[in-house]
Amino acid sequence: MHNATPASIPVIAIDGPSASGKGTVAELVAAKLGFHYLDSGALYRIVALAAKQQNIAWDDALAVAECAKTLAIEFKNSQVFLNGVDISEAIRTEEMGKGASRVAVHATVREVLVDLQHSFCKTPGLVADGRDMGTVIFPNAPLKIFLTAATEVRAQRRYLQLINKKAAGDDTQVSYADILQDLQERDARDQGRASAPLIKAEDAILLETDNLGISQAVEYILQNYQLITNF
């Protein structure tokens, strides 16, 4: 069921924990190759936002899954639309990040989103990032990357991002200790859930970015992709 994607369309699956930089790296790799890009984490943020808008508790698996079935989601020019409304900023809050992790533990919700994720697999190719791209959604991807960094490194990166947003006028309270604790809790939820836990696929390449910049990570993935293609 989860293999229902054309074998002729190349997929680069990039998995990893929160704040590892995989989204930025995946989007840049897609741009370099002229491929489509799937931010699967955004889908769970969208579901979390929609559930909140409908006063559905994130822990109510059946209600959240039913909510997810009704959503009209569109990615266009780096913007995200839900039922025709631009929610690009609304889903990027820390609250929706936590909500995404909460709704993603539900197998019923993950099942609803499988076909939607498969629909992004179009010519000339796809770069997909998430937690289970290489293990569940695109298990036959010719290139799988598990991109990670130490929890403390990821917390520091997230902290600096939020500090920069605060400098730009965002009034969100920022605490490194809180961010570190939140990441540790998200990692535990993502790795411990029964449905599609965050794990490195057996045939995935481990890419640790503790001491790597974004451009270096992008170049590493492109080099590995070139090794498996003819160009």
Cis peptide before 124 (omega within 30 of 0): yes
CATH of residue 71: 3.40.50.300
Q: How far is CA 197 from the centre of its chain?
A: 13
Which of 31-45, 162-176, 204-218 shows the lowest mean pLDDT across its residues? 162-176
| pLDDT tens-place string over residues 49-70 | 999 999 999 999 999 999 999 9
Residue 48 forms part of a structural domain:
yes
Between 77 and 132, whose confidence is greater? Answer: 132
Phi (first) and psi of residue 74, to 5 degrees: -140, 130
Q: Is residue 180 part of a domain?
A: yes
- Total domains, the chain: 1
Mean of pLDDT over the chain: 91
The pTM assigned to this predicted structure is 0.86
Question: Could you list the residue range(s) of the whole structural domain that residue 210 is in?
Answer: 11-218
- Type of residue numbered 133: M
* pLDDT classification of 1: cutoffs 50, 70, 90: very low
Is 27 part of a structural domain of the chain? yes
Measured CA angle at 163 (ends 160, 167), to 5 deg: 140
Confidence tier at 162 by pLDDT (50, 70, 90): confident
Q: What pLDDT digit, counting tens, does each position of 171-215 carry?
A: 667 899 999 999 999 899 889 988 888 999 999 999 999 999 999
